[in-house]
Amino acid sequence: MIPAARVQASIEILDQILSGVPVEKALTGWARRSRFAGSKDRAAIRDHVFQALRCKRSYAALGGAETGRGLMIGALRAVGADLAETFTGQGHAPDALTDDEAGRDFASDAERYDIPDWLWPMFQTSLGDEAVAVAQALQNRAPVHVRVNLSKSDRAGAIAALATDGIAAQEHPACNTALEIGEGARKIAQSRAYSEGVVELQDAASQAVVAALDLRPGLRVLDYCAGGGGKSLAFAAYSGVEVFAHDVNPERMRDLPARAERAAARIKMLATDEVASQAPFDIVLVDAPCSGSGSWRRAPAGKWALDAQRLTELTALQSRILSDTSVLVDAGGVLAYATCSMLNEENGAVVDKFTSAHPDWSESFRKLWLASHGTDGFFAAHLTR
């Protein structure tokens, strides 16, 4: 496919997404209908679509409309491209530009930085002087990080193993397991280092949430909101740590047994009605359901789906889960609360509400990782009694 045809395909996919079709369904549907498209075409179109969604408001302003066409016009204008070379109307290229597609100036900072209007004041309050830098980071593609499985290798060994498959990696400062991928990121899933469980895809801040805990042989750890199990696997890489994984929706953990086998990790998966019988635990990690604001680069549709009502629902849920899981922690143990959000309403405010309601608990650790500092946005706090 020529570049202009990729833009036209992206326009068609974006129109479907804007009409309510889920992102992955729209991309998969197009790929199935377009067998002529090669892997490079599909990758380029996917990149176009995700970038347009990250910058939906600013691209719509630059492109003159919140349509697939408007977003792709805005995307090209944002990088100073010559639109006449792409919008020719010839072959499979999009139609030539019209006079009413000149675009306009940004109406607000929220529009310029691609944050919903209702959220921008809260975003600024939560992030202070970093608000603009974080918003700009969320407008761009996220870096690719992998976690080194400490039970199989160290960072130097993993870097060497990845290099044999043409993947360039370097140490990331977030923690002692984190690597950032340079060239060859799309090869990771087919690499020997990945298939043999030496590395696992995981954001560096997500890894750092686990590394911040004092993990020692003999500890019993519960990953309460395990999801796909990335943090469970990170726990299991520490020698002598007994790991339990739970999620209210067990389907989210369906790939965890295969991932654990690849990593040579021992993880006991618990159904909801089994958790209490296995308590108490030395560490309970609650990676709570949240807005996902720290990972909006990876899942940009979530930024536009969030509204004030949903945020209120989430904070109520976070408080309830934190309270419910506190009874699972052994005396002297740690209740670790985490979110992949950078909003204070989901982070410090939830922790402060918990400690106010439970005066026997106190906070011993708090950290916020920012998307502007080379990781996803993440928050973690440690609570003890």
Query: Residue 221's domain is classified under what CATH number?
Result: 3.40.50.150
Q: Is the pLDDT of residue 188 over 90?
A: yes
Percent pLDDT > 70 in the chain is 100
- Decide: 214 and 208 in contact? Cβ < 8 Å: no
Question: What's the token pair of residue 298?
Answer: 């990876």
Whether residues 52 and 171 share a domain: the answer is no
**How many distinct structural domains can be found in the chain?**
3
Going by C-alpha positions, the residue among 91, 101, 59, 209 that lies closest to residue 145 is: 209
Q: Kindly indicate the confidence band of residue 100, based on its pLDDT and cuts at 50, 70 and 90.
A: confident
Q: Kindly indicate the confidence band of residue 35, based on its pLDDT and cuts at 50, 70 and 90.
A: confident
Q: Is the pLDDT of residue 291 over 90?
A: yes
Give the C-alpha separation, 29 to 36, whole Å.
Answer: 14
Whether residues 215 and 318 share a domain: the answer is yes
Q: Among 52, 78, 107, where does a domain finish?
A: 107
Q: What is the mean pLDDT of the chain?
A: 96
Look up tokens 């469980």; give the residue: 197
In a domain, 127, yes or no: no
Whether residues 150 and 256 share a domain: the answer is no
- Give the per-residue SS3 of the chain: CCHHHHHHHHHHHHHHHHCCCCHHHHHHHHHHHCCCCCHHHHHHHHHHHHHHHHCHHHHHHHHCCCCHHHHHHHHHHHCCCCHHHHCCCCCCCCCCCCCCCCCCCCCCHHHHCCCCCCCHHHHHHHHHHHHHHHHHHHCCCCCCEEEECCCCCCHHHHHHHHHCCCCCEEECCCCCCEEEECCCHHHHHHCHHHHCCCEEECCHHHHHHHHCCCCCCCCEEEECCCCCCHHHHHHHCCCCCEEEEECCCHHHHCCHHHHHHHHCCCEEEECHHHHHHHCCEEEEEEECCCCCHHHCCCCCHHHHHCCHHHHHHHHHHHHHHHHHHHHHEEEEEEEEEEECCCCHHHCHHHHHHHHHHCCCCEEEEEEEECHHHCCCCEEEEEEEC
Whether residues 90 and 28 share a domain: the answer is yes
* Cα torsion angle, 117, 118, 122, 127, sign: negative
In a domain, 175, yes or no: yes
Q: Is the pLDDT of residue 99 over 90?
A: no
Whether residues 291 and 334 share a domain: the answer is yes
In a domain, 128, yes or no: no
Whether residues 292 and 343 share a domain: the answer is yes
Q: Is the pLDDT of residue 316 over 90?
A: yes
Whether residues 196 and 213 share a domain: the answer is no
Whether residues 196 and 215 share a domain: the answer is no
In a domain, 115, yes or no: no
Q: Among 91, 107, 123, where does a domain finish?
A: 107
Lowest mean pLDDT among 9-23, 25-39, 333-347, 362-376: 25-39
* Cα torsion angle, 35, 37, 38, 42, sign: negative
Phi, psi (5° rounding) for residue 366? -150, 135
In a domain, 378, yes or no: yes
In a domain, 126, yes or no: no
Catalytic residue among 55, 225, 290, 340: 340
Q: Could you list the residue range(s) of the whole structural domain that residue 40 is in?
A: 3-107
Going by C-alpha positions, the residue among 211, 257, 249, 200 that lies closest to residue 227 is: 249
Whether residues 54 and 161 share a domain: the answer is no
Q: Return the biggest CA–CA distance within the chain.
A: 71
Say if residue 21 is exposed, middle or buried (CB neighbours under 10 Å; 0-12, 13-18, 19+): middle
Question: What's the token pair of residue 358?
Answer: 């439970």
Q: Is the pLDDT of residue 337 over 90?
A: yes
Whether residues 186 and 298 share a domain: the answer is no
Whether residues 58 and 155 share a domain: the answer is no
Domain of 175, CATH number, reads 3.30.70.1170
In a domain, 263, yes or no: yes
pLDDT of res. 138: 98
pLDDT of res. 88: 95
Q: Kindly indicate the confidence band of residue 372, based on its pLDDT and cuts at 50, 70 and 90.
A: very high
pLDDT of res. 299: 96
Report, as an integer, the average pLDDT of 78-107: 93
Give the C-alpha separation, 68 to 60, whole Å.
Answer: 9
pTM for the full model?
A: 0.93
pLDDT of res. 175: 97
Whether residues 80 and 157 share a domain: the answer is no
Going by C-alpha positions, the residue among 179, 150, 155, 161 that lies closest to residue 265 is: 150
- Decide: 70 and 64 in contact? Cβ < 8 Å: yes
Amino acid letter for position 76: L
Neighbour count for residue 37 (Cβ, 10 Å)? 18
Q: Among 50, 80, 107, where does a domain finish?
A: 107
In a domain, 137, yes or no: no
> What number of CA atoms fall less than 13 Å from residue 82's CA on the CB side?
3
Give the C-alpha separation, 98 to 75, whole Å.
Answer: 17
For the question of residue 175 being annotated catalytic, the response is: no
